[in-house]
Amino acid sequence: MARRPLPRILSTGSAQIARSRELARTAADSATDVLHPLITITRGLRRLAAAGRRRWAETPKDKRGPLLFLVASVVLVVALVPYGPLLAAIALMAAAAWQGRDRRPPAPEGPDESQTQRLKSLYEALVPYFSTPEDPAPAYAHGGEWEKAFPAYDFDESGRITHLLVRYPAYFPDGEPEARARIEQLLHAKSGRGREYHFAWDEEGNELTVTVLSPLPTDIAAQRFVTAPGETVLGFTDASQVQRTLPLTHGEERRDVPPVVWRTGIRSTEPHLLVMGQPGSGTSTLLRSIALQALQYGDVVIVDGGGTGEYACLTGRDGVLAVESGLAGALASLEWASTETERRLIAANRARQAGHPAPDDTKRPLWILLDRPSAFSHLAAADGRKDPQALLQVPLRHGRAAGVTVVVADQFDSADALSDGVRQHTRARVVLGPATPVQLEAVLGARPHTTPVAQVPPGRGYARLGTGPVHRLQVPSTPDPYDDATSDADRQAVLALLPPRTRPADAEGVEAEPVPAEAVVVESS
Cβ within 8 Å of residue 180, ≥6 positions away: 174, 199, 201
Q: If DSSP codes are grouped into helix, strand and coil, which group holds residue 210?
A: strand
CA 9 to chain centre: 35
504 is in an annotated binding site: no
Cα–Cα distances in Å, from 111 out to 124, 140, 160, 261, 373? Answer: 17, 20, 12, 42, 55
**What is the 3-state composition of the chain as percent helix, strand, coil, each rounded to the nearest 5?**
45, 20, 40
> What CA–CA distance (Å, rounded) separates 167 from 47?
48
> What CA–CA distance (Å, rounded) separates 317 from 313?
8
282 is in an annotated binding site: yes
Strands 366-371, 460-465: parallel, antiparallel or unpaired by DSSP?
A: unpaired
The packing angle between helices 283-294 and 488-497, to 10°, is 40
284 is in an annotated binding site: yes
278 is in an annotated binding site: yes
Q: If DSSP codes are grouped into helix, strand and coil, which group holds residue 506?
A: coil
283 is in an annotated binding site: yes
Number of Cβ within 10 Å of residue 39's Cβ equals: 13
> What CA–CA distance (Å, rounded) separates 525 from 516?
15
CA 523 to chain centre: 43
> What CA–CA distance (Å, rounded) separates 167 from 152?
10
Strand partners, 317: 501
Query: 235 near 459, Cβ under 8 Å?
Result: yes
Structure-derived torsion over alpha carbons of residues 408, 410, 415, 418, reported in degrees to the nearest 10:
-40
Cα–Cα distances in Å, from 456 out to 193, 198, 218, 462? Answer: 13, 16, 11, 12
> What CA–CA distance (Å, rounded) separates 20 from 12?
12
Per DSSP, 507 falls in state -
Q: If DSSP codes are grouped into helix, strand and coil, which group holds residue 471?
A: strand
191 is in an annotated binding site: no
Binding site members? 277-284
List the binding residues for ATP. Answer: 277-284
